[in-house]
Amino acid sequence: MSEDVYVLGVDMIKFGRFPDRTVPNIGAEAALLALDDAGLTIKDMQAMYCGNLGQANAMVGQRILQEIGQTGIPVVNCANACATGATAFREAWMSIKAGIYDVVLAVGVEQMGKGLLGGAGGGDGIPKEGLLGSGTMPCVFAEAGMEHSKDHGTTFEQFAKISVKNHHHSTLNPKAMYQIETPLDVVMNAEMISYPNTKLMCSVNVDGSAAAVLVSEKKAKELGMARAVKVRASALASDPYTDRDLVMPDVNACTRIAAQQAYEMAGVGPEDVNLVELHDCFATAEMLHYENLGLCKDGDAGKMIDEGHVELGGKVPVNVSGGLLSKGHPLGATGIANIYEVCTHLRGEAGARQVEGAKMGMTHVIGLGTACGIHILEKV
Amino acid sequence: MSDKILPAVGYLKIPDDGDPYLEGYKCDNCGAVFLGERSVCSKCFTRDKMSTIKLKETGVLHSFSVVYRSFPGIDVPYVSAIVDMDGGGTVKGNLINIEPDPEKIDFGMKVKLTYQDALGRKDKEGNSYLSYFFEPA
């Protein structure tokens, strides 16, 4: 196999709402932070991979370079739903893996606004939302969670506990959108959006950006390995055929494919992973992925949250950043922001939320449609 | 403006003589059932072996959510349902004539199709539409 790839610099901005800024301007901030973290400049970058969804046809990557330095390097703009950031990171990884470049920049950025996502369902004729069920994201992921309830008896309260956990974690993360404790009764009594997802069990639409500088092993050794994080695996899967997939997006099957490929590539198993940042776009989604990622046996996800295995201090802390539920979910940035989070723990720089002794971590995102991106990272 | 009521979606068929029905495309090789026209099976990759079928009128509730917040102008709460049709195919739709209370809806309950006006929704030309709904069987 070709030489290993390392993350040399990585950072994110504090997520928030920046209606007066432009998408490239928000992206440029993270790009500069990541370059600084790597101790490099834009002049050192040989290529750029940019993830953004909202302006997918508007050359966001090039416009970021117009704000931070136009050197004539190739730029690839990626859109892959909520897996957009992970896809940009993976494209960057592949370019080094292929031996084309030694130093590349990956940026993810999104400006969101507020409100419900999905389900607009325009097209010809009349609107279909609320006529043929709901295509809103809270409902689609509620239906996926209810499938778990049907098979395993998972309760509203168990789903709600995930939101309590992630909001608690975010109180320790200064870069999260919110730092607010939400006790169980507050989560369960919040406005019901789509049963069993209350408002506090839905991810927060925010603006944000994150970026990473990836380098070849040769370059990492040259520049200094002290804070370099090794990319042990990068996997991307689409949804395989399953019986209901075209009516009910299947976030499980493609996660299982990507997870299996990632574990095989890294030569490790779920028991080797010390922390996980997974795609908690809704509390119901996080529950499914404990099993999809092999963190527990099928049917045991409810126990994972009940017994505290997935909280900070537990067996395998999940979403110690606060997750999409409280850190926020700027679609195109999320897949690199979660790589920032894992790298920060592996470097021992996570402060109050540090997962003690973390050596290996996993990131996971799902974009409906469907795309799943998984990375396994290790501090060597 | 059409003088006839139009189908809300392409896979809802309204024959001139006869009752409305949902149309599926069934792969003659592997039996997979799809909504909407296609010529290649995404399950077994066989080409040009698709036949149109009438979906059965009955099915079983696979999963659901009760929707309390939707887009402005859409009446809530309502039940968004995923139904496995008897004889093949999965269809999403509103489950009506049942209290929209998660405690009172059972996974696996038997449901049947009913065809009604599309909640009074009209297009820009003022055409009326027929839609399908599920109700307890």
Task: Please say if the pLDDT value at position A120 is more than 60.
Answer: no
A329 is catalytic: yes
Given an 8 Å threshold on Cβ–Cβ distance, is B32 in contact with A120? Answer: no
Position A246 confidence tier, pLDDT thresholds 50, 70, 90? confident
Give the mean pLDDT of A272-298: 98
Give the predicted TM-score (pTM) of the model. Answer: 0.96
Nearest to A241 by CA among A233, A249, A231: A249
Give the mean pLDDT of A264-288: 98
Q: Which of A167, A168, A289, A329 is catalytic?
A: A329
What is residue A123's predicted lDDT score, i.e. its pLDDT? 65
Range of the structural domain that residue B120 is part of? 6-136
In chain B, which residues have pLDDT < 70?
Answer: none
Nearest to B64 by CA among A258, A248, A32: A248
Task: Please say if the pLDDT value at position A119 is more than 70.
Answer: no
Count structural domains, chain B.
1
Give the mean pLDDT of A27-56: 98
For B124, the token pair is 């820009």
A82 is catalytic: yes
What is residue A331's predicted lDDT score, i.e. its pLDDT? 97
Q: Are strands B90-95 and A360-367 parallel, antiparallel or unpaired?
A: unpaired
> Do you know the residue count of chain B?
137
Which CATH code is given to the segment(s) A5-114+204-378?
3.40.47.10
What is residue A117's predicted lDDT score, i.e. its pLDDT? 78
Specify whether the CB–CB gap between A115 and A231 falls below 8 A: no
Residue B1 lies in a domain: no
A225, with CB counted inside 10 A (0-12, 13-18, 19+), is middle
Nearest to A119 by CA among B91, B134, B130, B70: B70
Residue B73 lies in a domain: yes
Residue A8: in which H helix or E strand, if any? Answer: strand A5-12
Nearest to A166 by CA among A83, A282, A274: A282
List A238's β-bridge partners, or say none.
Answer: A371
**Chain B residue at shortest CA distance from A137:** B70
Task: Please say if the pLDDT value at position A65 is more than 90.
Answer: yes
First to last CA, chain A: 18
Instruction: Supply the mean pLDDT for chain A.
Output: 96
Position A52 confidence tier, pLDDT thresholds 50, 70, 90? very high
Structure ipTM: 0.96
What is residue A336's predicted lDDT score, i.e. its pLDDT? 98
CA-based Rg of chain A, rounded to a whole angstrom? 19
Task: Please say if the pLDDT value at position A58 is more than 70.
Answer: yes
Distance CA(A106)–CA(A91), nearest Å, equals 8
Percent of chain A exceeding pLDDT 70 equals 98
What is residue A165's predicted lDDT score, i.e. its pLDDT? 98
Residue B55 lies in a domain: yes
**Among A119, A131, A194, whose Cβ lies nearest the Cβ of B121?**
A131
Least confident of A11-15, A23-27, A123-127: A123-127
Residue B79 lies in a domain: yes
What is residue A114's predicted lDDT score, i.e. its pLDDT? 74
On chain A, the residues whose CB falls within 8 A of the CB of B63 are 143-144, 146-147, 150, 248
B118 at A interface, C-beta within 8 A: yes
What is residue B4's predicted lDDT score, i.e. its pLDDT? 86
Distance CA(B77)–CA(B98), nearest Å, equals 11
